[in-house]
Amino acid sequence: MIENSLSPLSSEFQITYRYTVQFTKGIFKKDNPVLKDFFISDYKSDLVKKALVVLDERLIHYFPNLVSEIKSYFQNFKTIVRLTGDILPISGGEDCKNNQQLWESLVNAVDACGVDRHSYILAIGGGALLDLVGYVAAVSHRGIRLIRIPTTVLSQNDSGVGVKNSINHQGKKNFLGTFAPPVAVFNDLQFLETLDDRDWRSGMAEAIKVALIKDKDFFHWIEVNAIELQNRNLDKMAYLIHRCAKLHMDHIASGDPFEFGSSRPLDFGHWSAHKLEYLSQFSLRHGEAVAIGMALDTVYSYQKQFLSLDDCIRILSLLKTLGFLIYHPQLSEGDKGNLYSGLEEFREHLGGKLTIVLLAEIGKTLEVHEMDLKTLDASVNFLENYI
C-alpha cells in the first residue's frame, strides 16, 4: 500500500528527568565525599569528563582558599573528571543577568575549553548567577550537564532546586530562558554563614510563599520560629530550606514543570515583584520584592473578600516580624501606571492569558484571570498606610 504523501504525521514521546538535591557542609573539604560520590555514580564510560567551574567572585573574599580547595578536591578523582581551563570568578547579583558581554564571555569559555555535552558546568553562587550559568549550559551544544551549588537562602530553597534558567533582556526580567533541569544540586550550609542580614532574610520570602500556597502547618512553623530565624539560627534555617525545597520539588514533579499552561502557582506575589525589581533598578533584592508582592496580593485577596481579615493580618505581621518592608513607593509611582504595566507584561510572559494566584486562606489558593484596577489601587493604598 502506498502512503498518501500529504497525510499528517504525529509523534508523542516522554523524557524522564531525574536529579537529587543533597545537603552538606564544606562541600570542597577533602574528607567530604558528597560531590566525589556523585561523579563516581555518574561515571558510565571510560572517558574522562571535563568540568568548568564558574563562581561568584564575592565568595573568594569570605573563603580566600576556595579556588585552591576546589582544585585540590578534584585531584582526588582526576581519572574520572578533570577541571578544564581556569576557575572563572564572575560578578554575581542581578546585574550579571543584564550583562550581555558576560554571557558571551562564558559561552566563549565553553568553546575555548572544549566543554562538550558530556562535560559538566559547575555554577557556584546565588540565584542570579545560577540562572545565567544555567542558561549558558542549556544553550551551548544544546545542553551541557549543569551542577548547581547554591550559596544563598533564596537559591537553596527555591531557584536553585528548580528547572528554570534565564537572563534579562529587552528591559524585562527573564525574557530569555530555558527549562533545563540540573543533573544535581548541592546545598552547602557553610556558604550561608557569610550572608549579610538582607540576603539571609530575603530568601525566607520564598519559604513564606510556598507555605502560603501549599502548607498551612509550615506557615505556622515559620510564625513560631520567626524570631530565631531573624536572629540567624542556622539549624532553624536548615529546616526551613529543606522543607521549602521539598515542597518546591514536589510541585515541579506533580504539576506542569515546563509551564505549558498559564497557571503558575509558584509565582504567587511575583507579577508585581518582577516589575518592582526593575523600577527600583534592582536596589531591591528578589526576595524583598517578592515579600512586597505577596503583601499586595494578600491585601487584594482580602479586599475582594476571598481571604479573611485575620489571615491577612497574620501574613502581614509575619513579613514585618521577619524584617520585610511591605510597601515601596514605586508601587504608587505614576498614579500606579508602572504597576499596571507590570500586570500587562506578566500577561504577555504567560502567553496572553493572565492567570494570577490569590489566597482563599493560608495554604489554599484560587486563580483569577483579571485584576480589578480599582481594588488593586486600594490595596496599594492599604499597604502604604499599614502600621
pLDDT tens for residues 168-214? 988 888 899 999 999 999 999 999 999 999 999 999 999 999 999 99
Give dist(CA 252, CA 317) in Å, integer: 29
CB 364 within 8 A of CB 352: no
**pLDDT (0 to 100) of residue 68:** 96
Give dist(CA 113, CA 87) in Å, integer: 11
Would you kindly state where each structural domain of the chain is located, as residue ranges?
A: 20-194, 197-384
**pLDDT (0 to 100) of residue 260:** 65
Give dist(CA 142, CA 49) in Å, integer: 17
- Measured in Å, how far apart are the chain's first and last C-alpha atoms? 79
Give dist(CA 68, CA 5) in Å, integer: 62
Output the nine-digit C-alpha cell for 253. Answer: 514533579
Any idea which fold 197-384 has? Answer: Dehydroquinate synthase-like, alpha domain (1.20.1090)
- pLDDT < 70 regions, the chain: 1-3, 256, 259-263, 265
Give dist(CA 179, CA 343) in Å, integer: 23
Question: Residue 187 phi/psi, 5° resolution?
Answer: -90, 115
- Please name the residues in contact with 341: beta carbons below 8 A apart, sequence gap of 6 or more: 275
Q: Tell me the per-residue pLDDT of 76-104, one tens digit each, with 9 for 90 and over.
A: 898 899 999 899 999 998 899 999 999 99
Q: Tell me the per-residue pLDDT of 264-292, one tens digit each, with 9 for 90 and over.
A: 767 899 999 989 998 898 899 999 999 99
**CA gyration radius for the chain?**
22
Give dist(CA 35, CA 51) in Å, integer: 12
- Please name the residues in contact with 51: beta carbons below 8 A apart, sequence gap of 6 or more: 74, 81, 82, 83, 84, 119, 120, 121, 122
**pLDDT (0 to 100) of residue 352:** 73
Q: What is the pTM of this model?
A: 0.89
Q: What would the 3-class secondary structure string for 292-320 be?
A: HHHHHHHHHHHHCCCCCHHHHHHHHHHHH
**pLDDT (0 to 100) of residue 3:** 65
Pairing of strands 145-150, 120-125: parallel
Question: Residue 87 phi/psi, 5° resolution?
Answer: -65, 130
Segment holding 365, helix H or strand E: strand 364-368
CB atoms within 10 A of CB 281: 9
DSSP state of 191: G
Any idea which fold 20-194 has? Answer: Rossmann fold (3.40.50)
Give dist(CA 20, CA 184) in Å, integer: 5
